Structure 1
Amino acid sequence: MIKIYAPASIGNIGVGFDILGASIIPIDNSILGDYVTIKNYKKFKFVCIGKFSTELNKNLKKNVVLQACKNFFKKIKKKIPKIKIILEKNMPIGSGLGSSSSSIVASLSALNIFFKNPLNKEEMLKMMGNLEKYVSKEIHYDNVAPSYLGGIRIIIKKNRIIKCQKIPHFKNWLWVIAWPGTNLSTQVSRSVLPNYYARKICIKHSLNIATFIHASHTNQEKLAIKYMKDVIAEPYRKKLLYKFDEIKKKIKKIGGINLGISGSGPTIFSICTKIKIAYKIKKYLKKNFIKKNGFVKICKINSKGAQQIEKNNYETI
């Protein structure tokens, strides 16, 4: 039997639209990610359990885990064997926390380990991106890459080979993430973005991401925060979120050093460096942003990524 945990992730992290993503873990060790278990069985069977399993398409044949299974065995040129796959869906659908990515990463990682690692990491990443296209109609890696490999990742594509470089992160940063309890599909969130951007916006975006990555590598925290700004998506997507501008101003007054949209939204994230401030932000967001069934969690960067569960312990893949 193999059981894999794939953590939640923040796509874009504001400054890096579609090319940067971060893997996160709550500081209270609560679960924020999906599990996939694979075991030998008398026939092929797929089962969904977990808090958010009822949000999945009732037609399980359309589930991304089954698509991952089909793609995996097609790639290794084998028939689908007699196994039981169990998806424990702990992530809300359309949350902006890489819900589909958690399922994709957990299922492919479990399959690869269960069948003695026939695919390398580059092949796995490429398949993960293609499966994201199955969900959102576009290939993107800013959630699957950090969920799979951990840390903050920049996506690099060269000669059809997908590679990810790890970007140094500031270990004192606390990431307060808030899911309001509502859903927002990636397709809808992408539909509000313009097809073309003015030259000055492109230049500003290039300056922001170049400076942020430089500052991360040279340990210049204030410089990183100063240029951690989203000029590509936030100006258009914020209208889809409840009182975004008002909340952003309030968070800065409380002591947050940044506020951004996690992936496509509706989850937002705030960064701070002091735990007292983090709890104040959490309290404010619970009162002013969260609706029924939503949550706020104080997180740090998860450097490990997807992990195999061994006797209730985590083991990095």
Structure 2
Amino acid sequence: MSVSHNTVKQSVSVFAPASIGNVSVGFDVLGLAVKPIDGTLLGDVVSVSATTSGESSLTVIGKFADKLPSNKEDNIVWSCLLLFNEKLLTVKQTSILVDIVLDKKMPVGSGLGSSACSVVAALAALNAFYAKYHDFSFSENELLKMTGQMEAQISGSLHYDNVAPCYLGGLQLMVPDVDIISRTLPNFADCYYVMAYPGIEVSTKAARDVLPTQYSRSDVITFGQNLATFVDACHRQDKSQAFSVLTDVIAEPYRTDLLPKYKASRDYLTTQGALAVGISGSGPTLFCVCDSQPQAEQFALWLQEHYLQTALGFVHVCKVDEVGATEI
């Protein structure tokens, strides 16, 4: 049962940041939250406020609003509200009628965790709204499970490599324990991540469909060795070792042909001294890891000229977002 809540304007807004899924060596098990150093909000904002009207509502605004379904029932943020209300019932809490506004700042099909941004911002905003005005909130783990449930609904498989860093911040390693889900790994705070979105869309489904159903024993060994070495190097803060193994043998070899100009850009940046270059999530966004801000700015200018393909494209020099979803 839902009830209207007559009161002075009660409102909460939450920003959820972009993320790099996979981080090359960790297919579906590693994710890194990033934020532009110039203060640009690279992610989505969801605002939740109490309403005195007879039903809840959803409004979508922002640069990429026109890329989303016009029918609210087909919007994942509306699905988040339905799921949140359903979970409230299971713990005998009354759901409140709300107005929701999604500010869609993130391009769809970009490889930056666009759907994760909407899901995390929506669920975190709802949780913050109830915590602030109705003295109830779900635990961090319960909310993370909800974000995973929504991502599975969208993509067809349960993977937390975007929603976990988007929600929790930092570099996240997914673990096979439903009571933990994700562990925060030490990252390299002095590194810069150049994120270049070319302005074209690659569907996650298409990017998954090109992957083989079986892998060779040598590829499996290389994958395990690279991931284990990277995680170990993170804990030892051995930057050289960590980025020397940041090579994707699971997805990148099969997705390169889906991404115009990717291979040439990767090869150029690598020869120019980038610590690592990879595909963010399922693409088409490219990420490039740099040792210094001047190098990152230089590579950003090069990518602006050589990797972008439409007016929607952009390049941001980023650092790791240590915070994740944040009330603003």
| TMscore range, shorter length | over 0.9
1:59 aligned to which of 50, 64, 71: 71
Q: For residues 309 and 32 of structure 2, what CA distance do their matches in structure 1 show?
A: 25
Q: For residues 79 and 55 of structure 1, what CA distance do their matches in structure 2 show?
A: 33
Q: Is the 8 A contact 2:196 2:287 kept in 1?
A: yes
Partner of 1:24: 34
Q: Deviations over 1:261-292 (max 9, x none)?
A: 00010001000112221112111111111022
1:303 aligned to which of 315, 322, 327: 322
Give the letter for the 2:165 counterpart. P
Q: For residues 204 and 307 of structure 1, what CA distance do their matches in structure 2 show?
A: 37
Partner of 2:115: 100
2:88 aligned to which of 71, 76, 83: 76
Q: For residues 270 and 296 of structure 2, what CA distance do their matches in structure 1 show?
A: 12
1:186 aligned to which of 204, 224, 242: 204
TM-superposed deviation, 1:244: 2.1
Give the letter for the 1:242 counterpart. P
TM-superposed deviation, 1:163: 2.3
Q: Which of structures 1 and 2 has the bigger CA Rg?
A: 2
Q: For residues 32 and 71 of structure 1, what CA distance do their matches in structure 2 show?
A: 26
Runs of 4+ with deviation above 4 angstroms: none
Q: Would you say how many aligned residue pairs link Structure 1 and Structure 2?
A: 308
3-state SS in 2 of match to 1:161:
coil
Give the letter for the 1:94 counterpart. G
TM-superposed deviation, 1:118: 2.9
Q: Is the 8 A contact 1:251 1:281 kept in 2?
A: yes
Partner of 1:48: 60
Q: For residues 288 and 142 of structure 2, what CA distance do their matches in structure 1 show?
A: 34
Partner of 1:91: 106
Partner of 1:33: 43
Identity among equivalent pairs (%)? 40
Give the letter for the 2:18 counterpart. A
Q: For residues 82 and 166 of structure 1, what CA distance do their matches in structure 2 show?
A: 35
TM-superposed deviation, 1:256: 1.2
Written as runs of structure 1 = structure 2, the 5 A alignment for 1:1-317 is 1-43=11-53, 44-77=56-89, 80-116=95-131, 117-158=136-177, 160-292=178-310, 293-309=312-328
Gaps in structure 1 of 5+ consecutive residues: 310-317
Give the letter for the 1:303 counterpart. E
Q: For residues 201 and 82 of structure 2, what CA distance do their matches in structure 1 show?
A: 28
Partner of 1:312: none
- Normalised to the residue count of structure 1, the TM-score between the two structures is 0.95
More displaced 10-residue stretch of structure 1: 28-37 or 80-89: 80-89
Give the letter for the 1:254 counterpart. Q
Q: Is the 8 A contact 2:244 2:275 kept in 1?
A: no
Q: For residues 105 and 255 of structure 1, what CA distance do their matches in structure 2 show?
A: 35
Please provide the CA RMSD for this pair.
Answer: 1.1
Q: For residues 60 and 242 of structure 1, what CA distance do their matches in structure 2 show?
A: 34
TM-superposed deviation, 1:162: 4.5
Q: For residues 196 and 261 of structure 1, what CA distance do their matches in structure 2 show?
A: 21
Q: Is the 8 A contact 2:173 2:182 kept in 1?
A: yes
Q: For residues 191 and 253 of structure 1, what CA distance do their matches in structure 2 show?
A: 31
Q: For residues 180 and 244 of structure 1, what CA distance do their matches in structure 2 show?
A: 10
